[in-house]
Amino acid sequence: MKRTLLLAALFVVLGGSAWYAFSLKNNKSGTRISWDMDFAVLNPDEIGKIFIADRKGQTATLERGKDQWTYNGKYKARPTAVQILLETINRINVRYIPPAQAVPFMVREIAADGIKVEIYDRKGKAMKTYYVGGITNDEHGTIMIMEGSEQPYVMHIPSFIGSLRVRYLVKEEDWRDRGVFTEKPEDIQEIKVEYPQQKSESFVLEKTGTAEFKVRPFFSTTPASKNPQRKGRAEGYLVQFENMAAEAFETTNPFRDSVLQLVPYALFTIKKTDGTEKFVRFWPTQTDYFPDSGKPFVVRYFTDINKESFLLTQDVVFAPVFKGYSYFFE
């Protein structure tokens, strides 16, 4: 009897231990007990660089700077995209361990079409390297595998349903910042605005002292206004240049070269206090009509920045900077 009770007690203890270990390994809250399940970086502030590459040869290198992240060592990275990626890296968790029979297929899929992710700290030391595969059939998890491991896992972010793969971007147009005007008012020394079809409304706004601005005609043939400048108009105008972004990049648009040969609607030259300049041009590309009058109005523009970037912008966003010379006077 005592022997039977002892064996029963031992069975319960061993069975409970086995169940506990198994539940830890499969816990949907993501409790990790082995190195190849530990995908998350708990403190994203420690990250200094992220390298992402797909099987098509596309790569994206994101590096933390003093005030911003850069993309491929040349462009400012889009802040929202960086924030989403850092959040993903921080919150990613194991949803479950896939059944053994599914592992070979998952490994082959990642080998054929996986995205490689390398994460480094601020000193350049490798923190994590893993591969991102496709989404599960129920669309609740994303297949991933740690470099050096033979065991893939189904990953997720708690409370989020959908693919995590789409957060690991590689295309240039997805990573580059779409900001067109991102200048702080106090950093602007001068703005020149030229309207080739409305020369009398072209102007130059110049900072002449602390909180002092002078507005003059762009063309010497335009007579200067005899009316006094409106108070606060120049300051209010400069504020508009702090945060204006494009809708999308049009880098591969087949009409790009043709558009660049046309006379633009408006040309902006912004000179900053540090001597740097930005040159921006706008060409109307989409119009609509007012229902009551039937008159056309511009909806979108093709926009060129420093003769390098070609983007699509919306009039509803940029209308505040399309002001004329007369706007600044009584």
Does the pLDDT of residue 329 top 80, yes or no?
A: yes
DSSP designation for 200: G
Does the pLDDT of residue 228 top 90, yes or no?
A: yes
Q: What is the pLDDT of residues 34-82, one digit of tens each?
A: 899 999 999 999 999 999 999 999 999 999 998 899 999 989 999 999 9
The per-residue pLDDT of the chain, averaged, comes to: 90
Mean pLDDT of 99-106: 95
Mean pLDDT of 206-232: 93
pLDDT of res. 33: 65
What b-and-e string marks burial along 208-225, b requiring 16 or more CB atoms within 10 Å of the CB? eeeeebebebbeeeeeeb
Which sequence spans correspond to the domains of the chain? 33-175, 179-328
Give the residue from 325, 320, 326 showing the smallest Cα distance to 237: 320
**The residue to which tokens 């994206």 are assigned:** 60
* Band of pLDDT at residue 304, cut at 50, 70 and 90: very high
- Residues 205 and 191: their CA atoms lie apart, in Å, by 5
Mean pLDDT of 191-215: 94
Mean pLDDT of 115-141: 96
pLDDT of res. 226: 94
State the DSSP H helix or E strand holding residue 15, giving kind and residue range, or none if neither. Answer: helix 2-26
Does the pLDDT of residue 258 top 50, yes or no?
A: yes
Q: What is the pLDDT of residues 154-179, one digit of tens each?
A: 999 998 999 999 999 999 989 999 99
